Chain A
């Protein structure tokens, strides 16, 4: 059974020893974030801050709940989906891909059946500042909600489109949304609603169930519903409920829902923010305004947040884990659906939104160029600069194997391919462009263009590495574990096929 709410997921973490509740008051002003960053660095339990210092609130903050263990970042998600813990990365991907290939339409429930409607506030009762939005890094432009699912209209699907865009709180009813053109929801706003002078209805869903959070991080083609893929991941329909003040449907078990609209031709400051690149990113920009019309929530809502920037290098956080556990399998499904012979598509663990590793066969000359071109012009356009292609037999989840492939197989003369030098769009969150190059473009992408590149680190048919047989390796690992070595570090001891569903 998959879990059906953030609370069930947190309970699951608790039973496995991966949750730590703090009863003492902790401030939303950097303290919760600092404690979370320490946990992220040290691969510690997920912190739940039960009491918020200096604020009369029943809300609780949860720091980076989706961060996975450093040895197996997918482990918590595997359990949340009803799979066994301890699966190898490849097996986890296989299981998730199977589920993504079997989407299930959502089910609607009445308001009285939806936990997220336990409290409903509209009109003068709306007060964003009654919630403990965290101030995440010293130097941020403001307090943020940055681990949520945005629900926006989509004329091609019944259930709207889901995505993820950070939100900076401004006052009791306004926030600025980071909408960067090139992505589906921002495009809908900038090129559809705003030109018509029409406000775009939006719901910000905070503390949705894990499969919802996963699909918000995926690149689902237009005309397909994230809600159905969330159901596929769960192996049962996701419950949705209609908003109070607009026609959008939101996940019913969410902790907190902000209903509102994005005002046309209006902007508020957004940023700077310590972003996923691991660097404080400026300059402060003008971004569209989200005005809140209603707030609904569960009793004692759990408000998850992500210490962004701590998921680079060795670090893991919610967003880096979501890339690996959700976006990776989704991309694999998408590339296969597009006709590419891809074994696995995996974000590079040290900077998960900038580089992807794709293990693939090369069935015909020019195949890698076609594959790179397809991705760069679709879902990989704004954030991803590099693709590394490795043999299908290379484990793209093993950075050592990938690094070795780059070092030994990628010929600087023939295997590094730049796509259109300085002709491609880029999110202004990057750190290699100067502030002048980033500018303050109306729709949020950098003023200056960039390049994209792919690296062909596939072999020419020769095995790259001496290896013992799988059976011998497994016996060796068993012997070493018997001698006291950490079992979690071995890759062939965790194929508990009989236990996984």
Chain B
């Protein structure tokens, strides 16, 4: 388990975080959004008053602009993997945080957040250019029931020193009533917020964390609401004062496109913080925002797990719901086992997720970090007539796209950008690559010309990052 502050230090140590010193005349969410658009590092906003903020810690570079981009590398680091970890290693790790069957034995340690003489406004949450109130993002809500502690993602606004208006999954709202205590944890270990997202998108918020793999890796501490990670930067203990408050928010964190959500009004009873708290923020609603990226990764993890435990074999190489497509398209690389398998694959994805109604299938040998190749193969390998397959117009609209918000049914689409398994081997055009197009000795000559050190045999260089 990696505490949040250690995670932030790790990003800085990897030169993947830049510190900005306040004051900030430009709104923090705009700075955060611009850094993400530019495939920049995570940002730490050092402030004289209030807590420090960090943005971009759960997102990463734009795969449409940058070769070899691995926007999952930061979260990989946060979950204890190598930042160079393959996407599937991360997806599998995410899956282990969820429901594990049976009760596990949590580890309890002391609460890191001990300072108590402040209120919610003292933390100086960032306020966007058009926001009425400061915004709380990337939080974990914790409530306790007879079954145990339940976690879910939460975001909202600070409308006063002791008042929050938040949005949580309906599956969590159904567990609380007016007077219920709820704890909002900010700056939790990456494993904890990932778990909250995973439980939300798989509609398993009702499963107590005592039955989830995260319990085995994240030490916990009891609070008035429920258990939270002991290494939490900010712990806000609150009471639900209104389960149906009359307010609307234009902002939606990414998980809200997957499941139903609703507002709650909370009274803040007590705020505990670490000595120098660091709080993650996401530029919600803007491209590549942390909450979107996180939602895409946990949804992909859930789908990957389900698909590769469905046929008795594991044909799926990887699944991506890229933030670059705002989660509105599902990309899957798979072994196309037989003619027609692509139809099965696409339609099972439609069965397991309502986020998207477009699926793109690529060959299993396309690495997920070579998204540029995916964005070429869509158009190159798929026959414009035969490989763009539309369903009958009787499907419900997906939740993420903007069209058909009137409950009208319509078609779904899958694009088959993989080689047809029925084709003869001689029909398959070889790719033009540094490895395929030149023999070893010629490649060596080319590397030496550019003053390259010798490359180990078999080591690929074609997808190296541009300098």
The complex places the Cα of A44 from the Cα of B20 at a distance, in Å, of 31
Chain B residues, CB < 8 A from A39: 450
Q: Which of B77-85, B103-111, B261-269, B371-379 contacts its partner?
A: B371-379
Q: Are B427 and A279 in contact (CB under 8 A)?
A: no
Cβ < 8 Å to B, chain A residues 361-405 = 385-386, 398-401, 403-404
Our pick among A310, A433, A462, A480 for the contact of B31 (Cβ within 8 Å) is A480
- Whether B175 is near chain A, meaning CB under 8 Å from some CB there, is no
Known A34-B445, A348-B379, A480-B35: A406·B27 in contact at CB below 8 Å: no
Known A34-B445, A412-B358: A138·B439 in contact at CB below 8 Å: yes
Q: Are B385 and A480 in contact (CB under 8 A)?
A: no
Q: Are A404 and B410 in contact (CB under 8 A)?
A: no
Q: Which of B36-44, B132-140, B223-231 contacts its partner?
A: B36-44
Encoded as 1 (CB less than 8 Å from any B CB) or 0, chain A from 209 to 223 comes to 000000000000000
Chain A residues, CB < 8 A from B404: 411, 413
Chain A residues, CB < 8 A from B403: 408-411, 414-415, 460
Q: Are B439 and A30 in contact (CB under 8 A)?
A: yes
Known A30-B438, A313-B375, A411-B404: A280·B34 in contact at CB below 8 Å: no
Known A43-B467, A406-B325: A421·B385 in contact at CB below 8 Å: yes
The complex places the Cα of A24 from the Cα of B31 at a distance, in Å, of 48
Chain A residues, CB < 8 A from B466: 41-44, 70
Q: Are A399 and B65 in contact (CB under 8 A)?
A: yes
- Whether B118 is near chain A, meaning CB under 8 Å from some CB there, is no
What is the chain B residue whose CB lies nearest that of A490? B38
Known A42-B464, A407-B325: A312·B380 in contact at CB below 8 Å: yes
Q: What is the interface residue range for chain A against chain B?
A: 35 or more
Q: Are B30 and A472 in contact (CB under 8 A)?
A: yes
Q: Are A433 and B383 in contact (CB under 8 A)?
A: yes
Q: Are B429 and A313 in contact (CB under 8 A)?
A: no
Q: Are A409 and B467 in contact (CB under 8 A)?
A: no
Counting residue pairs across A and B whose Cβ atoms lie within 8 Å, the total is: 283
The complex places the Cα of A280 from the Cα of B442 at a distance, in Å, of 18
Encoded as 1 (CB less than 8 Å from any A CB) or 0, chain B from 139 to 181 comes to 0000000000000000000000000000000000000000000
B98 to chain A, nearest CB (A): 26
A36 to chain B, nearest CB (A): 8
B281 to chain A, nearest CB (A): 14
Q: Which of B119-127, B332-340, B386-394 contacts its partner?
A: B386-394
The complex places the Cα of A459 from the Cα of B402 at a distance, in Å, of 8
- Whether B270 is near chain A, meaning CB under 8 Å from some CB there, is no
Q: Are B67 and A314 in contact (CB under 8 A)?
A: yes
Grouping DSSP codes into helix (H, G, I), strand (E, B) and loop, the B interface class, with mixed when no group exceeds half, is loop
B370 to chain A, nearest CB (A): 7
Q: Are A451 and B411 in contact (CB under 8 A)?
A: no
- Whether B187 is near chain A, meaning CB under 8 Å from some CB there, is no
Encoded as 1 (CB less than 8 Å from any B CB) or 0, chain A from 53 to 93 comes to 00000000000000000110000000000000000000000
The complex places the Cα of A249 from the Cα of B466 at a distance, in Å, of 41
- Whether A450 is near chain B, meaning CB under 8 Å from some CB there, is yes
The complex places the Cα of A480 from the Cα of B437 at a distance, in Å, of 41
Chain A residues, CB < 8 A from B31: 476, 479-480
Q: Which of A99-107, A143-151, A349-357 contacts its partner?
A: A349-357
Q: Are A485 and B64 in contact (CB under 8 A)?
A: no
Q: Are B376 and A278 in contact (CB under 8 A)?
A: yes
The complex places the Cα of A453 from the Cα of B436 at a distance, in Å, of 32
Encoded as 1 (CB less than 8 Å from any A CB) or 0, chain B from 59 to 72 comes to 00010111100000
A358 to chain B, nearest CB (A): 15
- Whether B99 is near chain A, meaning CB under 8 Å from some CB there, is no
Give A contacts to B, CB under 8 Å: 22, 24, 26-27, 30-31, 33-35, 37-39, 41-44, 47, 70-71, 136-139, 274-275, 277-282, 308-310, 312-315, 348, 350-351, 354-355, 385-386, 398-401, 403-404, 406-416, 418, 421-422, 430-435, 450-453, 459-460, 462, 464-469, 472-473, 475-477, 479-480, 483-486, 489-491
* 4 A-B pairs with least C-beta separation: A309-B432, A407-B328, A413-B410, A43-B466
Pull 12 A–B residue pairs with CB atoms less than 8 Å apart, ordered by A.
A280-B436, A281-B429, A313-B372, A413-B390, A414-B410, A431-B381, A432-B380, A450-B383, A453-B388, A466-B285, A480-B31, A480-B38
Give B contacts to A, CB under 8 Å: 18-20, 25-27, 30-31, 33-35, 37-41, 43, 62, 64-67, 129, 285-288, 322, 324-329, 356-358, 370, 372-373, 375-376, 379-385, 387-388, 390-391, 393, 400-404, 410-413, 423, 426-427, 429-432, 434, 436-439, 442-443, 445-447, 449-450, 452, 461-467
Known interface pairs A35-B449, A404-B287; 11 further A-B residue pairs with C-beta atoms within 8 A, sorted by A's residue number: A37-B434, A280-B431, A406-B325, A412-B391, A418-B384, A431-B381, A432-B387, A451-B384, A465-B286, A466-B286, A485-B35
